[in-house]
Structure 1
Amino acid sequence: MSINSLKEVSRLMKESISLSLPSKPEYVSIARLTSSAIANSMGFNIEDIEDIRLAVGEACNNAVLHGRNGDSNFNINFTIYEDKFVIEIFDEGKGFEIEKCPEPDFSNPKESGLGLFIIESLMDEVEVISSPGEGTNVKMIKYLND
């Protein structure tokens, strides 16, 4: 990326907020509430705010479930741009091979395994980077529509 491209990204970025939360289920609500408050302040409509809140909750639940279960933290970066909201959730858990992640079977639903499908359904862009033994990074983007 060129210096001019980096300057343009910096110009468009308004603020960045980071949280480090214990890998325990009771802290997921803090991430959901924070994402809702930021999305509201950016001017998202109520449907988009609820989509963001639910996607953040799913990603954080995955970080807690598949992370190191209470003996470490998971991290969240909220980045506010003029036209979009970027949320990244990192855990230092066991990771997984994304290519081997099965598609949901709606004819034989299970209680788990829908998290990534839900996140991808609710957000405009989703990128998952994970490697066995190295944790997972889920990056979600929701664009602010006029």
Structure 2
Amino acid sequence: MPDTEGKTVSLTVPAEAEFARSVRMLAANLAVVCGLSIDDVEDVRMAAEEGFVFSSSTDQDEVQVLFTIDEAKIQIQFSLGESAEVGDFEDGDFDYAKLILDSVTDEAVVDEEQGVLTVVKTMGGAA
């Protein structure tokens, strides 16, 4: 397996629904690179799409996506626009996105101060 310790990949895409597939496919490819199982790769694919959809709805023209990978984990950070608040994510405005992210990742957190949504998937985590 290639050395993937602490590698990062960044992507900037328009905050438009038709670009969700690009984010999803890159996330899946990177999950394969870091050695996740087929089931985990599918979870990453779903998490990437839901994270992108959530971040696209937060009043921004472009979404910055930062992937950080190592041999058994992928972390994806999505930029959030100024309208994003933790309450939106945790208190019901995005129930479906939160439900999906909580079920397919080990961590899904909105950081208002940093303006990012971070999702993490580790090998064999979040069944």
Q: Compute the TM-score of the two structures, normalised by the length of structure 1.
A: 0.72
In 1: Cα distance, 2:53 partner to 2:9 partner? 20
Which residue of 71, 75, 79 corresponds with 1:82?
71
Identify the residue that residue 43 of structure 2 maps to in structure 1.
51
> Where in structure 1 do 4 or more consecutive aligned residues deviate above 4 Å?
none
Which stretches in structure 2 are left out of the alignment for 5+ residues? none
Query: Which amino acid counterpart does residue 62 of structure 1 have in structure 2?
Result: F
Query: Which amino acid counterpart does residue 118 of structure 1 have in structure 2?
Result: I
Contact 2:56 2:63 in 1 (8 A): yes
1:31-75: CA deviation from partner (whole Å, max 9, x where unpaired): 00000011112221111111111011011011112333xxx2111
Query: Is 1:125 paired with 2:107?
Result: yes
**RMSD in angstroms over aligned alpha carbons?**
2.4
Identify the residue that residue 101 of structure 1 maps to in structure 2.
90
Identify the residue that residue 141 of structure 1 maps to in structure 2.
120
Structure with higher Rg: it is 1
Which stretches in structure 1 are left out of the alignment for 5+ residues? 1-11, 105-111
Q: Compute the TM-score of the two structures, normalised by the length of structure 2.
A: 0.82
Q: How many residues align?
A: 121
Identify the residue that residue 65 of structure 1 maps to in structure 2.
57
In 2: Cα distance, 1:19 partner to 1:27 partner? 11
Query: Is 1:29 paired with 2:26?
Result: no
